[in-house]
Amino acid sequence: MSQRFDPSKLIPEGYKAMYGVHLKVQNSGLPLGLLELVRLRVSQINGCAACVAMHVPLGREHDLSEHQINLAAVWRDAPVFSPRERAALAWAEAVTVLAGQEVSDAAYAEVSAQFSEQEIAHLTLAIGEINTWNRLNIASRTPPALA
């Protein structure tokens, strides 16, 4: 499959704006490993090969274990995630999939048991950011970087 178009070249100002959001997320105070875990899981849900290929090594760089990386897609059945990571993964799935056009009160209760309101806001921004990158890459058929 060949790339349809290169958004980085066609909308550089959009990429610059997205990078600004990325920097805000990176500097939110949330652990970078947690952010990479969420980015990996959202990218798996959306089927974005370019982002999965990017966030696997970044996860390693930010101290995710091989078990966490390998089991992110089946996290509910894997004993390698902390309660906080589980809450973040559940929130990421709820915000990404939007079943019934909403995020359930149960999903919010789960995440709010582990994160402050400020942290939930930052986590939600991170989920929105990776969803946008996924959609840009999928629509443009951006291939994964296989370095």
* pLDDT at residue number 5: 96
What are the residue ranges of helices labelled H in 1-147? 7-10, 12-26, 32-46, 49-61, 66-71, 83-97, 105-112, 117-140
What integer is the mean pLDDT of 17-32?
97
In a domain, 73, yes or no: yes
pLDDT tens profile 5-18 = 999 999 999 999 99
> Is 1 inside any structural domain?
no
Over residues 66-115, the pLDDT tens digits come to 999 999 999 999 999 999 999 999 999 999 999 788 999 999 999 999 99
> Rounded to the nearest 5 degrees, what angle is found at the Cα of 81, between the Cα atoms of 147 and 116?
105
Q: Which CATH number belongs to the domain containing residue 127 in this structure?
A: 1.20.1290.10
* pLDDT at residue 90 in the model: 98
Q: What per-residue confidence (pLDDT) applies to 1?
A: 77
Q: What are phi and psi of 57, to 5 degrees?
A: -65, -35
Task: Check residue 101 and give its pLDDT.
Answer: 87
User: What is the largest distance, in Å, between two alpha-carbon atoms of the chain?
Assistant: 44
CA-CA distance, 113 to 64, in Å (whole number)? 22
Identify whether 146 is part of a domain: no
For the question of whether the overall pTM of this predicted structure is more than 0.85, the answer is yes
Q: Let me know if residue 28 belongs to a domain.
A: yes
Q: Residue 2: inside a domain, yes or no?
A: no
Q: Is residue 145 part of a domain?
A: no
pLDDT, averaged across the chain: 96
Domain presence at residue 147? no
d(CA 69, CA 59) in angstroms, rounded, equals 7
For helices 32-46 and 117-140, angle between their N-to-C axes, nearest 10 degrees: 40
Domain count, the chain: 1
Residue 20 is part of which domain span?
8-140
Residue 34 located in a structural domain = yes
pLDDT tens, position by position, 105-144: 999 999 999 999 999 999 999 999 999 999 999 999 999 9
